[in-house]
Amino acid sequence: MDVIQDILGDQQLPMQYLLLAGIALSVFFVVLGVSGMATSDDTAARRMRVGSISRGHGADFDLLQGDNSDPHGLLKAFVPSSKRERSRIGKLLKQAGIQRKHAIQTFYLFRVVLGFVLPAVFVVAMALPIETQVQLHIANLLQGITWVNALQIVTALMVAGFYGPALWLRIRIKKRRQAIEHSLPNALDLLQVAIEAGLGFDAAMVRVSHEMSHAAPEISQEFTILQLELQAGKERQAAFWDMADRVGIDEVNSFANAFLQSNQYGTSISASLRRFATDMRLDRELRAQEKANRLPVQMSAVMALCMMPVLLLICLAPMLIRWMNMIG
């Protein structure tokens, strides 16, 4: 400690900040290790999966999948070595609409960097001179923070930086699913009109994806990916089921099922799309009516909680005052 203090003595850096930075770094690696243990693959499970039969249109056949290869070099310290875990994160990224190359490695690296940068910024802000803190208007925020509170803040920032991107990914997936669910009936109507106008199904889907690129970019992206997979040589059934699995909502699954059944049995695709779009709008209306019917029941509890004490006070206050006067 004395040697380090002598070396850093010219920079006037308090030893407590170095200790806080060391503790923060230790907590960071503990969080990283716990996350790795939670997502590590069991050896027995790996042996059981050896020689298992996979779907022909799975991850190995997905021509538009981002780079999901084993990490090399420094990435081994941040990206999990389990291919199953990387595939799970890759599926979540696809459901969020992130189709970039090296998306999996970028996501893990961003989590690690963010989990390290946020505590580092706080430690640097604590180590700044009081004059600099006043100039940056952060002196009032940092005033009165003890070392115990600083350690708690560093730990909270580290956990938030490491697990925050995963929470953001879940929220983005939810919003994207809602957007696709909302825009799918309109897309099916346009698809039906294009087919009735004489276009083939593939050409109609390309036209609809171009027309809805601004109004509904989520469903346009899914239609574009579907057509690119079909043009790359993927089986039609596999491409549709992969789109349903990628989006993760029941409506797209039903759409894929309806199209594949119509294609298998030779029925009219236009009529199937018309009926399916009508059923989707009916289901949406029924869900809206269900939410509207639940509102009186939900509001009754709030009204009873907020209004009943006031009503009782208004009704009983004159009687209580009269009793108090009579007793007095």
Per-residue model confidence (pLDDT) at position 29 = 57
> Residue 217 above 50 pLDDT?
yes
Task: Calculate mean pLDDT across residues 140-145.
Answer: 78
Per-residue model confidence (pLDDT) at position 14 = 55
> Residue 322 above 50 pLDDT?
yes
The per-residue pLDDT for range 46-98, each reduced to its tens digit, is 433 333 333 434 433 344 444 555 666 666 666 777 778 888 888 888 888 88
Q: How far apart are the first and last CA of the chain?
A: 77
The answer to whether the beta carbons of residues 253 and 181 sit under 8 Å apart is no
Nearest to 209 by CA among 220, 197, 194: 220
Domain ranges of the chain: 2-40+55-173, 176-283
The DSSP code sequence of 219-276 is HHHHHHHHHHHHHTT--HHHHHHHHHHHH--HHHHHHHHHHHHHHHHT--HHHHHHHH
Q: How far, in Å, CA of 205 to CA of 224, rounded?
A: 8
Strand locations in 55-106 (E): none
Task: Calculate mean pLDDT across residues 111-115.
Answer: 86
The per-residue pLDDT for range 284-310, each reduced to its tens digit, is 788 888 888 888 888 887 877 888 888
> Residue 8 above 50 pLDDT?
no
Q: How far, in Å, CA of 139 to CA of 51, rounded?
A: 62
Residue-wise burial string across 49-66, b where 16 or more C-beta atoms lie within 10 A, e elsewhere: eeeeeeeebeeebbeebb
> Residue 43 above 80 pLDDT?
no
Q: What is the mean pLDDT of the chain?
A: 76
Q: For residue 24, name the pLDDT band (cuts at 50, 70, 90).
A: low
Per-residue model confidence (pLDDT) at position 72 = 67
Per-residue model confidence (pLDDT) at position 172 = 92
Q: What is the DSSP letter of 11?
A: G
Number of neighbours of residue 174 by Cβ within 10 angstroms: 13
Q: How far, in Å, CA of 97 to CA of 13, rounded?
A: 46
Q: For residue 171, name the pLDDT band (cuts at 50, 70, 90).
A: very high
66-80, 166-180, 188-202, 204-218: lowest mean pLDDT where? 66-80
Kindly state the helix (H) or strand (E) to which residue 279 belongs, with its residue range: helix 269-327
The structure's pTM equals 0.66
